[in-house]
Amino acid sequence: MRALTVMFMARLGSLNALRQTRTHRFWNGWLGADLPSADTLGRVTTQIEAAGLREMHRQVYTRLKRGKALPPPAHCLIAAVLDGHESHATYRRHCPGCLTRTIHTALGDRTQYYHRHVSLQLVGANWTLLLDAEPQRPGEDEVAAALRLLERVLPRYPRAFDVVAADGLYADPRVFNYLYPRGKDVLAVLKYNHPALLEDARSLFDHHSSVAGRYRNRACRYWDIGGFTTWPQVTAPIRIVRSLETWSVRRQRDGQVETQQADWFWVTTLAPTRATTGAVVQLGHARWAIENQGFNELVTHWHADHVYRHEPTALLVFTLLAMLCLNVFLAFYRRDLKPAARQAANMLHIAHLIAAELFVGIPAGPARTPM
Ligand SMILES: [Zn+2]
């Protein structure tokens, strides 16, 4: 695992790339042994217990919390964003953990194999922290995997967050009915998957006046109504907030200024005494505001979607380990580096420096070819 940590921190992208650094004297000091072959490293990950990695996540959280590195935003509510993430898809190789779907192609229907996991990421004041991930199993839907994740996370992180925020898929009675009695609020995008509720909200909003608001550079009109009863499967009191947002963008192709608009609806259990309309809008956008700080960052810059080993345990281990490395790296970058150093070197630059260190002093030529 220590070797794999270096692979992620240096963002090498494959076990073979890691193996190319094997002659560096760093490895003997770091591992107290030679760097194992790519095959051995891959095989070992099928034996690692995810529980141990999850415990390491908890330790990182606890240290950051004690160090007062996880302050809440101005509205005082820390969100935990639930998000499904699909990794690789293939027609060829599959394993017992693969999900399947039928793809209609010109050559007829084909079975595609893929994996998806649900992650939970804390969002506070200018910081984020990926807490845990849970694979979706064959035969279940994403919400079922999310509930299993919540069952594990709630007792382990009882006071880490106040509200669970998610996209429209999670506007699901199972999520609301699970979290609300356990003292956690829920906030989900309301979309066309709840036509009756959306219709009810729209007709009520037509007869209510809006108030002016602002989200980032967007001028907003807010509507905010509680006491909805058109969602009988949900036991909690339901409030719906709408934000009609208008902003200007300059078009790249001809430099013209264009007005854009978005019409958001959120369904939430958050009481008005706990979260103002503006706070609900901010929390509602949290899922999208973190786009470059969660799995997108891991996929784009950390090669988290690379299939290091196509086996259910290995896939989970690599996911949890990539998340852990990102958390530790971000904590170091934001807390330990002075602002001047951060200005001089972005995160990718630092990763390249780590990688460069590993390759320095290694003889070029055949010795670098993976065995
Ligand atoms: Zn598989």
**Ligand 1 centroid vs 313 CA: distance in angstroms?**
10
What's the pLDDT at 292?
67
* DSSP for 293-311, written as a single string: TTHHHHHHHH-TTS-SS-S
What's the pLDDT at 148?
98
* Residue ranges for the chain with pLDDT beneath 70: 289-292, 361-371
**Ligand 1 centroid vs 168 CA: distance in angstroms?**
27
Tokens found for residue 264: 């958001």
Angle between helices 312-331 and 50-66 (to 10 degrees): 20
**Ligand 1 centroid vs 92 CA: distance in angstroms?**
10
Element (H, E) at 46: none
pTM summary value: 0.90
Element (H, E) at 325: helix 312-331
Tokens found for residue 260: 């854009």
**Taking a C-beta distance cutoff of 8 angstroms, is the pair 276, 75 a contact?**
yes
* Side chain identity at residue 92, one-letter code: R
The DSSP code for 259 is E
What's the pLDDT at 8?
82
**Ligand 1 centroid vs 137 CA: distance in angstroms?**
10
**Ligand 1 centroid vs 93 CA: distance in angstroms?**
7
What's the pLDDT at 140?
97
Residues 6+ apart with CB under 8 A from 328: 60
**Ligand 1 centroid vs 99 CA: distance in angstroms?**
7
CA distances from 152 to 117, 120, 137, 169, 293 (A): 15, 11, 16, 21, 23
**Ligand 1 centroid vs 113 CA: distance in angstroms?**
7
Tally of CB atoms within 10 A around 367 = 11
What's the pLDDT at 363?
59
Bridge pairing between strands 128-135 and 108-123? antiparallel
